[in-house]
Structure 1
Amino acid sequence: MTRIGEKMRPLEGVTVLDLTRVVAGPYATMILSDLGARVIKIENPNDPDYTRDFEPYLVDEDKKQSAFFAQYNRNKEAITLNLKEEDGKEIFRNLVIKADIVFENYRAGIMDKLGVGYENLKQYNPKLVYTAISGFGQKGPYSKWPAYDNSGQALSGLWSINGMPGEPTRIGTIIGDEAATFFATIGTLSAYIHAQKTGEGQFVDVAQLDSSLALTENAVSNYTVGGQIQQPLGNDHPLCRPYGKFKAKDGYVFFGGYTDRFWKTTCEFFGEPELINDPEIDTMPKRFNEETYNRRVLPKINEWFSHYTCQELQDALAEKLPLTAIHSMDQVLEDPQLNFREMFIDYYYGKAHGKLFGNPIKLSATPCDTSGGAPEIGQDNEKIYKEFLGIEKKELEKYKEKGVL
């Protein structure tokens, strides 16, 4: 709820029932919660989100909380509910009546098998937006396969175009999960707007494989139009030179001075303006030629950069052309631009403290709120079940004894 003197957030009044776990789903619902939605995380009491056990931990006396779990579950409430129990199914259906969105990331068909898939739930709430993130989508020859992030990276071709020449390499983050996060968030908000306009809910089907494919840039068109099967290029670029990683005195920088304008600026800064009109390297296409680049351009850049630290190069050139230091994570935490944009938030778990990344969405009138904590398992059972369904504490205890909560 908006407090006096605070700005309203855009999704206030929206209720999300969150059955997801690990990253792809929890990250999407956390974005919605940062934007003001009321997100209720629902976990099986016997099989909760297993990222609660991921190290490292925020430790407060005899309690601890996974920093990984906290990163993707802030601003949420939490209840327990066992959907394998008939009473659990009925309770969930009654919760759905008062919700706007359901989010899940089970394998395709699991929720239908339990009797609480979209076709069942829309009978209770026709305006319901039901979002399912899965490895391969709800239908198709792979739909029943289990999947991890690497599954999408492998089949989509991302592995085959990443890494150094000669061997496919996994991208060093769960980018397939995160891609599914963002597409699911976009799809959910689009479906929600439609539901508000028409009263018609719908099923939002987002596959990790599809989402990973959508990150392969121009690899599809390179093959279908140009007949080229894209291979790993390491830190090079298929269309631009110089554009990549270059060694400085104390580390590495990214330098993208391939256009004629940026090349001119570079040559002038390093005191060799005569190279601007050198007939062998005076145009962008000439500098892109691999033999010419390796013989004339690359050695010159290496010589120039070897006399300066990463910070010196960035301080001198970053406002004039694309040149930035390649930071390790300890340096990232000190970056003035990221700190100015409040991309690191202070997170407290009792007396324990850590920094987590914030929300990249910056809204001028209805800003995100990243201040909330991640919930303990079932911490809001009593409050939410009474508020939504009128279930009193004694009845909750009975459900707990039966294994429903």
Structure 2
Amino acid sequence: MAIGVSAAAELDHAAGKASDGPLAGVKVLDITRVVAGPYCAMLLADLGATVVKVEHPDDPDYARTFPPFVGEDAAGLSAFFTQYNRNKLGISLNMKTAEGKALLKRLVREADVLIENFRPGTMDKLGLGYEVLRQENPRLVYTAISGFGRTGPNASRPAFDNTGQAAGGLWSMNGYADRPPVRVGTIIGDLAASLYAAIGTLAALRVVERGGAGQVVDVSQQDSVLSLTENAVVRYTTKGEVASPLGSEHPFVRPYGQFPCKDGYVFFGGYTDKFWRLTCQLFGAPEVAADPAIDTMEKRFDPVVAETRVRPILERWFSAYTKAELEEMAGDTIPLSAIKTIAEVVEDPHIAARDMIVNVPLGAQMVRMFGQPVKLSATPTTTYAKAPDVGEHNALVYGRLAGLSADELARLADEGVI
């Protein structure tokens, strides 16, 4: 899989990150921007891959301008950008110039993976599409993330995260029945596409590791969002039902949703007969479990029964306690969890025990941000290095991977190639 492990280790050392992760030696060229792409590359970097972020010298990743910032306004550094570009090296390259194209090809010869998130056809117009780059390196895994994928009638359309949410059907399902649909409260289209791209990249690398050739990993935001719609597709294809906004309710499982308590809300999902019986016992009313109107899961699934009989019971029980009290008394026994604010999550002792809030350098400070969700028992993620400045590692990367001298680098910089 990996070529030149020693070179990768040297580059990682320069980036301030460990070089002993499970993907150590895998070299990735990240020519993406914003989130759909940078997040995929960051996941690989966290797991030990040597990731080189490639940015245009005069038009770098504009996520660098996204808040929140750390430091003085004039020289503020973006925590948003760092969150998706930590553990990477950074080089600058103008791929529109002849020498820039040649330089990328030289880097591709030493790379295992290239990740891009341009509109399909953009790299081909630059003369740097997969068919060209595979001639430089037949083992190259070429991961392409786009709004609609590389095939199909809509392939050339521009897209953002909301495009994926809208075109993938998720937007139409979110919100409340008596109000217009609402986007999911995070960039789920970008994030899901990045996750699938990481999975596809690892699968393609496995093929190369077994002696096969490189290939294109084609990931669409629309496809990724569609795959997150749970039972909506089969409800339509089997019953003709079109999913619509349900607020915090589930299409058929009840009770399974948001319930008020003394100081906020909790999620309660004790819908099975076992959990319903345990719930009634916990709240000192075991006889409720035997009530013939609500004594089976099938009866409690009925929307009228759930709203008129089950919900009032639960709201009466929960209203006597705070979120923390409910979790303390019931969280180990039944599916009940406080609906936490981000502040509560960041300060959650369990999150801390899972190393899910980590310190990442940003300027002269350490900024807390989310960690790596993938936990490997033998090769854990142990270091989080800063995101690179634009072109910060030009001399190191171009010197080590492309063999350029200091004089050549100076000339290319003067000419605006790097």
Aligning the two structures, in what range does the TM-score lie when normalised by the shorter sequence? over 0.9
Structure 2 unaligned residues grouped into runs of 5+: 1-8
Aligned with 1:34 (options 40, 43, 46): 46
Aligned with 1:293 (options 303, 306, 318): 306
Residue in 2 aligned with 1:173? Answer: 186
Residue in 2 aligned with 1:207? Answer: 220
CA distance in 1, matches of 2:56, 2:74: 24
Q: Give the Å deviation of 1:157.
A: 0.7
CA distance in 2, matches of 1:384, 1:243: 53
Residue in 2 aligned with 1:235? Answer: 248
Query: Which has the higher mean CA deviation after the structures are superposed, 159-168 or 22-31?
Result: 159-168
Q: Give the Å deviation of 1:199.
A: 4.0
Aligned with 1:353 (options 362, 366, 377): 366
Return the letter of the residue paired with 2:356: M
Return the letter of the residue paired with 1:377: V
Q: Give the Å deviation of 1:61.
A: 10
Residue in 1 aligned with 2:328? Answer: 315
Structure 1 unaligned residues grouped into runs of 5+: none
SS in 2 for 1:17: strand
Q: Give the Å deviation of 1:163.
A: 1.1
Query: Which has the higher mean CA deviation after the structures are superposed, 103-112 or 343-352?
Result: 343-352
CA distance in 1, matches of 2:152, 2:110: 32
Residue in 1 aligned with 2:136? Answer: 124
Residue in 2 aligned with 1:89? Answer: 101
Is 1:338 aligned to 2:351, yes or no? yes
CA distance in 2, matches of 1:181, 1:370: 21
Query: Which has the higher mean CA deviation after the structures are superposed, 269-278 or 373-382?
Result: 269-278
CA distance in 2, matches of 1:64, 1:337: 32
Return the letter of the residue paired with 2:43: I
* Structure 1 residues 366-377: aligned runs within 5 Å: 366-377=379-390
Aligned with 2:403 (options 353, 365, 390): 390
- C-alpha contact (below 8 Å) 1:7/1:367 kept by paired residues: no
SS in 2 for 1:79: strand
Q: Give the Å deviation of 1:397.
A: 1.7
Q: Give the Å deviation of 1:119.
A: 0.2
Q: Give the Å deviation of 1:226.
A: 1.4
Q: Give the Å deviation of 1:173.
A: 0.4
RMSD: 1.5
Structure 1 pair 165/296, CA: closer, same or farther in 2 (3 Å)?
A: same
Q: Give the Å deviation of 1:370.
A: 4.1
Residue in 1 aligned with 2:151? Answer: 139
CA distance in 1, matches of 2:162, 2:74: 36
Q: Give the Å deviation of 1:393.
A: 1.9
Q: How many residues align?
A: 403
Residue in 2 aligned with 1:12? Answer: 24
Query: Which has the higher mean CA deviation after the structures are superposed, 242-251 or 136-145?
Result: 136-145
Return the letter of the residue paired with 1:325: A
SS in 2 for 1:205: strand
CA distance in 2, matches of 1:223, 1:19: 39
Q: Give the Å deviation of 1:351.
A: 2.5
User: Taking structure 1 as the reference length, what is the TM-score of the superposition?
Assistant: 0.97
Runs of 4+ in structure 1 deviating by more than 4 angstroms, as ranges, are 60-63
User: Taking structure 2 as the reference length, what is the TM-score of the superposition?
Assistant: 0.94
CA distance in 1, matches of 2:165, 2:201: 23
Q: Give the Å deviation of 1:91.
A: 0.7
Return the letter of the residue paired with 2:247: G
Q: Give the Å deviation of 1:269.
A: 1.7
Q: Give the Å deviation of 1:131.
A: 0.5
